[in-house]
Homo-oligomer: A and B are copies of this chain.
């Protein structure tokens, strides 16, 4: 199955919006992500509905943050994307009458639920500002040449 990369991409965008300060158009963002402005608008619609960003039409329009990154957790972004399925694994329901199958699915679902709980719990603990801090720390550690060579200066 093709993996969902929207969470990764949206975090990337939020941090760039913060660093940029002003507005970025869907086209700007699409170029950063190597994709299409329509994909950007589609992915960011949920973030707008939840009030993390706003979009403005017309000249000088584009996308901007409406609150600090420290107020947005990875879980917030994940939920703004519609809480897509986390696992590429699922239990089968080929014959719900079969008690063997039910024992298997119950045991597997229980284990998957534990992993899901851990994952979403971690997402809830991490703010986007923290990830931005990871970047700042790395960027500060570079010497001047490396800073010029990187795309995030």
What is the total number of copies of this protein in its complex? 2
* Cα-based distance from A83 to B116 in the complex (angstroms): 19
Inter-chain contacts of A134 with B (CB < 8 A): 103, 106-107
Count A interface residues, CB 8 Å: 62
* Cα-based distance from A97 to B147 in the complex (angstroms): 11
Inter-chain contacts of A102 with B (CB < 8 A): 135, 138
Inter-chain contacts of A21 with B (CB < 8 A): none
B3 touches A99 (CB 8 A): no
Q: In the complex, which residues 1-19 of chain A have their Cβ closer than 8 Å to any Cβ of chain B?
A: 1-5, 7-9, 11-12, 15-16, 19
Closest to A115 in B: B119
